[in-house]
Structure 1
């Protein structure tokens, strides 16, 4: 049985450059940014782009999966801090703020997600994020800080409706209002 080899260093670099260029071009030009345009921005030949991503959907899916992998890592890090004694509510608040800001600066994700719709298979990424978020929510509920009926799906719903295309002050205000709906505490500001 043949063992699969690790990708060559130049292939890894090219893939990274293509993904960065795709994020940039989709942010600038929307999901209709052309493959030629993305290849040029990445500084690679179009053939190189197509070897890594045979279709535009493959490329857009990879951009989204890369971003969601980052979200899963942030959720897992919050869960680790929780295990080390951090307050669940603080971790949930920081997580929401981080994801909203990351999405605001990476508008390609939202634009690309609308293009793909339900065609995106998340697999392990979704399991990792969901598991970590569930642990945070359950700990917040056990602390009495989070309403008992709040679920991971509610957090995902919040992400989908976040005003990531608005100025920072509007995003901050949105987060303040959203946290009021999640928490058992009354708003002070």
Structure 2
């Protein structure tokens, strides 16, 4: 009979979240070479606590990436919920979602670079990634039904656009990029 994994204590959950937040900030500020000791100090935890949660820097960066994808999923689901409750149009929500992903990705450039250098999968096959895909599919279907999104647009097209956004550029450049790609997504 397999041994059931014990749920994490509340303080362990808080420590894990503090570590992930501090690691994000430290990597964003100092790059891939930031040490685990510096991350633990920034999180306000002992280095042993950090290593108990994340035995390697690769594990820690993978947790940051997972947190990012989970936040993107929650955002996409909120966009779809607003459409389903009649609060907004699917095309408008989709455009704003793409804008937010571009802005968020720009904030995560250092973390993505670190993830690549450590061999962390940039889009792990998680339930969060499936949630993003499902919410975007809902937006596309509704936007197409409304006549606002081109009939040939797929979720894969959206992922292609979002992964090629100029996230290492200023917000004005990212906004110009969005205005240039919108005619390929929307019907107006």
Normalised by the size of structure 1, how large is the TM-score? 0.87
Match of 1:146 in 2: 149
Aligned residues: 185
CA RMSD of aligned residues (A): 2.0
Deviation of 1:120 after TM superposition, in Å, equals 5.7
Q: Which residue of 1 aligns with 2:94?
A: 92
Secondary structure at 1:57's aligned position in 2?
A: helix
Quote the offset at 1:178 in angstroms: 1.8
What is the TM-score when the length of structure 2 is the normalising length?
0.88
Helix, strand or coil at the partner of 1:141: helix
Match of 1:53 in 2: 54
CA distance in 2, matches of 1:64, 1:98: 16
| Aligned residues of 2:62 and 2:121 also touching (Cα < 8 A) | no
1:110 aligned residue? 112
Residue 175 of structure 1 is matched in structure 2 by 178
Instruction: Specify whether residues 54 and 126 from structure 1 end up closer, same or farther in structure 2 by C-alpha distance, changes over 3 A only.
Output: same
For residues 37-93 of structure 1, give each alpha carbon's deviation from its aligned partner in whole angstroms, at most 9, with x where no partner exists: 222222222211110011211111100010110000011111111111221111101
Structure 1 residue 74 corresponds to structure 2 residue 75: yes
Query: Within 2, Cα distance between the matches of 1:81 and 1:110?
Result: 30
Structure 1 residues 160 and 30: alpha-carbon distance in aligned structure 2, compared to 1, 3 A threshold: farther
CA distance in 2, matches of 1:157, 1:114: 18
Deviates more, 1:105-114 or 1:170-179: 105-114
Rounded to whole Å, the distance in 2 between the matches of 1:182 and 1:71 is 20
Cα shift at 1:125: 0.7
Structure 2: which 5+ runs fail to align? Answer: none
Q: Unaligned stretches of 5+ in structure 1?
A: none
Deviation of residue 124 (structure 1)?
Answer: 0.6
